[in-house]
């Protein structure tokens, strides 16, 4: 089927008590793996790229990969800009056909974040492309993204932010971080529940790689509608490639080691579809 936006995906998730998995893809094999996992579990799915990923290969390369995968798939597939860090980058994704866009103004002040987010929302709504925003700051470091120590989302600010920006979904900070955790993350689940009580739009959890599955599921039970995974997909793909090269160091055909990377990513994604409870929810 054709690419879809995340609007209906996330509203359906919010209504029915599950979350949609959003997986960062870095190459064709990862795109193929994510779609295959979604089809096998009958899950809607979001594939996303970061600013550093589209710097490596531009929007049109990744859009083309995901578009072909979506057209061959029998489950809903969206392509999303993750952590768009400027109005210009968000507009480039919009013009290249992305069906969901995140603008991350969390590094600015509250008012600066509102202004930047609203500017993107005002343009994207003309093309019916939903916008994800972030309030609070998810800490950690991944790619060119450095969230430092992070900062928790204030529930009262979240309500005002959602109302003033018109964003379609909101990424919140409750103690997760980007990249690899140095210890077990401690999430403020009560804060999540407080935000859910005052914010009507779907809520998003970033920095989920490395968070215990049972905690992610509890976050979904408390109202998270989109769950992002990035670092662990890279680890899975690299594990598959290294396995082939360790066992057969003379391998020179990229298809042979990339296919093993693809399989590792597929199995990882399938397991997370169960964690976020999206299996059998494709429609």
Sign of the torsion formed by the C-alpha atoms of 189, 179, 279 and 77: positive
Tokens for 98, please give them.
Answer: 């992305």
**CA-to-CA distance for 6 and 168, rounded, in angstroms?**
9
Give 98's contacts (C-beta < 8 A, 6+ positions apart). Answer: 59, 63, 79, 80, 81, 129
**CA-to-CA distance for 42 and 21, rounded, in angstroms?**
12
82 noted as active-site residue: yes
Tokens for 200, please give them.
Answer: 């009507």
Indicate which residue of 12, 82, 143, 168 is catalytic. Answer: 82
**CA-to-CA distance for 255 and 128, rounded, in angstroms?**
38
3-state DSSP assignment of residue 73: coil
The three state secondary structure string of 144-182 is CEECCCCECCCHHHHHHHHHHHCCCEEEECCCCEECCCC
**CA-to-CA distance for 112 and 118, rounded, in angstroms?**
10
- Which residues are catalytic, by number? 82
């Amino acid at each position: 089927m054709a690419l879809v936006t995340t609007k209906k995906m996330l509203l359906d998730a919010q209504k029915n008590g599950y979350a949609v998995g959003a997986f960062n893809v870095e190459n064709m094999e990862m795109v193929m793996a994510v779609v295959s996992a979604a089809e096998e579990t009958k899950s809607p799915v979001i594939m996303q790229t970061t600013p550093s990923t589209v710097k490596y290969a531009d929007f049109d390369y990744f859009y083309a990969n995901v578009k072909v995968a979506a057209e061959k798939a029998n489950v809903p597939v969206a392509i999303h800009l993750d952590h768009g860090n400027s109005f210009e980058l968000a507009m480039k994704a919009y013009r290249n056909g992305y069906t969901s866009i995140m603008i991350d103004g969390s590094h600015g002040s509250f008012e600066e974040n509102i202004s930047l987010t609203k500017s993107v929302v005002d343009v994207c709504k003309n093309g019916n492309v939903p916008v994800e925003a972030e309030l609070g700051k998810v800490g950690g470091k991944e790619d060119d993204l450095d969230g430092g120590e992070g900062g928790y989302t204030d529930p009262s600010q979240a309500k005002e932010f959602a109302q003033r920006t018109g964003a379609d979904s909101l990424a919140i900070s409750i103690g997760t971080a980007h990249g690899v955790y140095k210890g077990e993350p401690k999430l403020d689940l009560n804060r999540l529940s407080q935000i859910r009580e005052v914010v009507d739009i779907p809520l998003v959890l970033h920095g989920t790689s490395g968070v215990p599955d049972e905690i992610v599921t509890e976050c979904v039970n408390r109202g998270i509608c989109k769950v992002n995974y990035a670092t662990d997909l890279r680890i899975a793909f690299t594990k598959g490639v290294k396995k082939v090269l360790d066992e057969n160091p003379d391998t020179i055909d990229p298809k042979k080691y990339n296919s093993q990377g693809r399989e590792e990513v597929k199995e990882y994604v399938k397991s997370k579809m169960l964690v976020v409870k999206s299996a059998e929810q494709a429609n």
